[in-house]
């Protein structure tokens, strides 16, 4: 039984062919420029309007020659792009993907992530190339500013000497808030930065205990935390450094980093507290962590089947390539198990597509018990599934497949509160051959074995012979 494509996919592909507005929407919404290159006449290259406007140029004044962009790209980056181009032509698995710099019309630098794919003719020779641009200038500038800011802060912090009795001038000029404290936590002296940080006049600060900077009436837990972090310093001679969230004297929330040194003097021990406001740094870190988590969620969604929550066909293809390459490189076993539900159309016809979806989800959960941690379990069609089984030979794959068939036939699938149905599956397996240059022959053999199982009556396993 041939596997049918989703009707929406067919419809979208037809719309792209018939309606140029659909393609324009995709390329304008998903890229910062697109290009299409004639490799047989390499001077000829079409660049979209967005390609030029991102670089500050009027696209109507460009003649679609490759030399136009080659004149404004950083020449070191051009060499990198040409080297990657040649490697990609020689090996399609080598990605044409690099970050390059262009000279904007106003003289500034524009960072571009440039990705492309070679298109081959019937003789498998490269004759066209399609590529897209993504403007990553803001990200590059943000990274540079963040590194520069951290370097400046760390340099300034390291330059401040904790020589209180030796240099009052250093105390006053320190870039961070400084407080002199006695062993009871009373503030002996404060600098201008402390006054600004804690939103409290200096003469008022110098009448307070350090613990009074977080008034008990405002939020008790902050004052308790403040005292908990400060007290240990007075019982030893070691350097104390902590980050904590507090409220300043005006009630404003702050995240601070406190470095506390106990200094022996002629009059007894005093403490020097250097306090840095790291609220913005913490906010930036949290923002970056949140963005990373969101990106990870989006990545997971892109690789998952929305109904069954297992991997989709796209991730299956990627993992087949990866596992095939590893198996060939390390001379390891690799098997593929393909199976689909027998007479699944009858389930949908008799009970409705909602019940069909329930069966697919229940089957997925049921099959997971036969899938090892190193396997890849994916939905590759409407009712067709695949298990990529590394380190697995033909006999082991057959054992797994036979157990799936046997256990599935005995398992009841619940379709409502009072009704259950039984389903069977047909399975085809194949194992990697030393002659398999890509993963496609392995998939084709497993697919043929699956359809052989269905032709021979279903509810069984067929193993592909290796030729």
Place of tokens 């390609």: 51
Q: Which of 45, 54, 383, 384 is catalytic?
A: 383
Please indicate whether residue 43 is annotated as part of the active site. Answer: no
The single residue listed with the structure tokens 């690789």 is 303
Beta strands in 287-424 (DSSP E): 334-341, 376-379, 384-390, 412-416, 419-422
b/e map 416-451, b = 16+ CB within 10 Å: eeeeeeebebbbbbbbbeeebeebebbbebbbbbbb
Cβ neighbourhood burial of 404 (10 Å; 0-12, 13-18, 19+): buried
Q: Are strands 109-120 and 96-103 parallel, antiparallel or unpaired?
A: antiparallel
Give yes or no for a contact between 251 and 270, defined as CB atoms under 8 angstroms apart. Answer: no
Q: Using alpha carbons, list the distances in angstroms from residue 388 to 15, 326, 391, 410.
A: 34, 13, 10, 24
Starting at the earlier edge strand, list the strands of the sheet with 384-390. Answer: 376-379, 384-390, 334-341, 425-431, 461-463
- C-alpha 421/C-alpha 427 separation (Å) is 20
What angle, 0 to 180 degrees and rounded to 10, lies between the N-to-C axes of helices 20-30 and 7-18?
A: 100
Q: Is 116 in a helix, a strand, or coil? A: strand
- Give the total residue count for the chain: 467
Q: HSE-up of 136 (CA within 13 Å, CB side)?
A: 15
Residues near 462 by beta carbon (within 8 Å), at least 6 away in sequence: 426, 427, 428, 429, 449, 450, 452, 453, 456
Q: Give dist(CA 305, CA 196) in Å, integer.
A: 54
Active site residues: 383
């Amino acid at each position: 039984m041939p596997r049918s494509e989703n009707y929406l996919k067919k419809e979208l592909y037809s719309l792209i062919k018939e309606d140029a507005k659909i393609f324009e929407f995709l390329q304008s919404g998903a890229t910062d420029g697109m290009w299409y290159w004639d490799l047989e006449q390499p001077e000829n290259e079409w660049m979209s309007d967005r390609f030029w406007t991102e670089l500050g140029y009027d696209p109507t004044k460009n003649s679609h020659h490759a030399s136009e962009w080659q004149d404004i790209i950083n020449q070191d980056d051009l060499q990198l792009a040409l080297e990657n181009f040649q490697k990609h032509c020689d090996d399609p698995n080598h990605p044409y993907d690099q970050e390059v710099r262009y000279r904007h019309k106003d003289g500034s630098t524009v960072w571009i992530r440039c990705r492309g794919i070679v298109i081959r003719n019937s003789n498998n020779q490269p004759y066209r190339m399609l590529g897209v641009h993504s403007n990553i200038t803001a990200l590059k500038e943000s990274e540079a500013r963040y590194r520069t800011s951290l370097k400046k802060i760390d340099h300034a912090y390291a330059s401040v000497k904790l020589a209180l009795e030796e240099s009052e001038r250093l105390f006053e000029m320190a870039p961070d808030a400084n407080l002199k404290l006695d062993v009871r936590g009373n503030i002996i002296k404060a600098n201008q930065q402390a006054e600004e940080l804690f939103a409290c006049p200096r003469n008022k600060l110098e009448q307070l205990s350090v613990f009074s900077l977080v008034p008990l009436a405002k939020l008790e837990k902050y004052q308790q935390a403040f005292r908990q972090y400060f007290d240990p310093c007075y019982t030893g001679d070691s350097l104390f450094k902590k980050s904590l969230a507090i409220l300043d004297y005006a009630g404003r929330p702050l995240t601070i980093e406190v470095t506390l040194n106990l200094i022996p003097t002629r009059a007894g021990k005093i403490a020097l507290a250097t306090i840095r406001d790291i609220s913005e740094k913490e906010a930036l870190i949290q923002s970056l962590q949140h963005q990373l988590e969101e990106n990870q969620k989006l990545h997971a969604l892109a690789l998952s089947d929305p109904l069954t929550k297992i991997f989709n066909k796209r991730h299956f293809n990627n993992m087949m390539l990866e596992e095939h390459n590893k198996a060939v490189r390390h001379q390891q076993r690799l098997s593929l198990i393909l199976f689909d539900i027998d007479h699944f159309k009858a389930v949908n016809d008799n009970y409705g597509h909602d019940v069909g979806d329930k069966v697919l989800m229940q089957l997925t959960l049921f099959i997971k018990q036969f899938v090892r941690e190193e396997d890849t379990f994916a939905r590759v069609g409407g009712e067709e599934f695949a298990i990529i089984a590394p380190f697995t030979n033909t006999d082991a794959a057959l054992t797994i497949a036979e157990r799936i068939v046997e256990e599935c036939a005995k398992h009841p699938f619940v379709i409502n509160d009072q009704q259950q149905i039984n389903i069977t599956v047909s399975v085809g397996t194949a194992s990697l051959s030393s002659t398999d240059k890509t993963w496609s022959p392995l998939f084709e053999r497993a697919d043929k074995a699956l359809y052989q199982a269905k032709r021979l009556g279903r509810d069984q396993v067929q193993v592909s012979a290796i030729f």
